[in-house]
Amino acid sequence: MSKIDELVFIHQAVSPCHLAILAESIGLKTSVIKSPSDLVMENGGNRFMLVAQKGAALDSKGIPLVVTRLVPQFPIALYQVERDTLDPKAAILQGIKGILYTDQGMDLLLIGLRKMIANELWYERKLLSDILNYLVKHLNSGSEPSQEGAMMIQMLTERERTIIKLVSSGARNKEIGHQLCISEHTVKAHISSIFRKTQSRNRVELLRWMQTYQSLFELCS
């Protein structure tokens, strides 16, 4: 990654962007905008985008929806993130450089910020270990992780992932409904959604999909 010229904070909350103020205090060039449409594009500049979770519209994993549009264009990190409101595995698989939580002190926020603009990832060690172990396993087996599979798994809700595991164990709709305390009709609706997201036409194809992406599925669960 080339040297970062500017930090751009997408900050939709009414309160001041304290992280931008902190970054300025150590000599980093910053700008604060409310949406990507407010971004003034300049030729030759390398920007690092920081998107606040607070005040943003989120997907089912707690990731701001705007991130999907920005990831192909800029290095991106998330800040003002409340713990247990975001799936960090989904974030790292989506290409997000790191997460800055609201309960972290200023010293740690600055360390994380500096690491990320130096092209390092900023995630908790356990998550990075899981990702590394997954990659090593696939390299040793001669197979390659699938970005398409990762995107499919990210689209699944936690309940849908649970149902896939039950389907893989041989459970029928009535049994799944009993275990999850939901109606058989609701189970059918979930399975229809699962078929759509995994591009499966029936349970046999879903089981094949599960076998193909099993290690990645377990990593994301």
48 and 105 within one domain:
yes
146 and 103 within one domain:
no
Q: How far apart are CA 103 and CA 80, in angstroms?
A: 9
117 and 22 within one domain:
yes
Domain assignment of residue 87, yes or no: yes
103 and 87 within one domain:
yes
Domain boundary pick from 97, 123, 149: 123
133 and 110 within one domain:
no
Which of the pair, 148 or 17, is modelled with greater confidence? 17
> What local confidence, expressed as pLDDT, does residue 2 receive?
57
| Segment 16-63, tens digit of pLDDT | 899 999 999 888 899 999 888 877 665 546 899 999 999 899 988 899
Q: Which two tokens stand for residue 160?
A: 């849908």
Please choose, from the candidates 220, 216, 60, the residue with its C-alpha nearest in 3D space to the C-alpha of residue 138: 216
- Which run of H or E residues covers position 51? strand 47-52
Domain assignment of residue 23, yes or no: yes
142 and 33 within one domain:
no
Domain assignment of residue 196, yes or no: yes
190 and 211 within one domain:
yes
113 and 59 within one domain:
yes
pLDDT above 90: residue 216: no
Domain assignment of residue 93, yes or no: yes
DSSP 2-17: PPP-EEEEE--SSS--
Q: Which two tokens stand for residue 5?
A: 């010229």
Domain assignment of residue 36, yes or no: yes
- 28: domain CATH number? 3.40.50.2300
Which of the pair, 186 or 211, is modelled with greater confidence? 186
User: What does each C-alpha distance from 183 to 32, 109, 159 come to in angstroms?
Assistant: 48, 46, 14
- 163: domain CATH number? 1.10.10.10
Domain assignment of residue 1, yes or no: no
State the total domains in the chain: 2
Residue 148, domain extent: 127-220
196 and 152 within one domain:
yes
Q: How far apart are CA 143 and CA 149, in angstroms?
A: 13
> What local confidence, expressed as pLDDT, does residue 155 receive?
82
147 and 115 within one domain:
no
| Average pLDDT in the chain | 86
177 and 101 within one domain:
no
Domain boundary pick from 100, 123, 146: 123
Domain assignment of residue 138, yes or no: yes
pLDDT above 70: residue 138: no
23 and 109 within one domain:
yes
Domain boundary pick from 57, 89, 123: 123
> What local confidence, expressed as pLDDT, does residue 158 receive?
83
